[in-house]
Amino acid sequence: MKTKVWIMALLLIVSGFSMKLVAQENLNALVKKCETMPSVNMNIIRKKNTETKKLETKLINITINENPALVTEFLDAFKKDEANVLQSIEDKGAGKTNSLFYRFENVTYSFSPGENEGCATISVMYKE
């Protein structure tokens, strides 16, 4: 009986951890895709973790230049991951998305379209 209790507890812990990882899986995949795209500029800020002595990513700023398809992909990814957000802020007007902010348990994403069609800025901030 004790073994079953331990197994159930372990499954709950593992499932909770895996939910954190998949909560924003569509947005994470797009951020990874952007690393190799010529129409994207990325600025990555890292900070050393004093406990592990390793650099950890704290903030990623992505600037998309003249790539309407990628901007649409990000908007679609926001919608797909929406069910898992803890907090969301959407600013819409005239049938367009002016900005989005999604906070998950361990990371926040913000989206701002640029002045020109196919341009946008996405910021990804990891919780300390």
The tens digit of pLDDT for each residue in 77-86 reads: 999 999 999 9
pTM, 2 dp: 0.77
Mean pLDDT, range 65-84, rounded to an integer: 94
- Please give the Cα distance from 11 to 25 (Å, whole number): 21
- Please give the Cα distance from 128 to 125 (Å, whole number): 9
Domain edges within the chain: 23-126
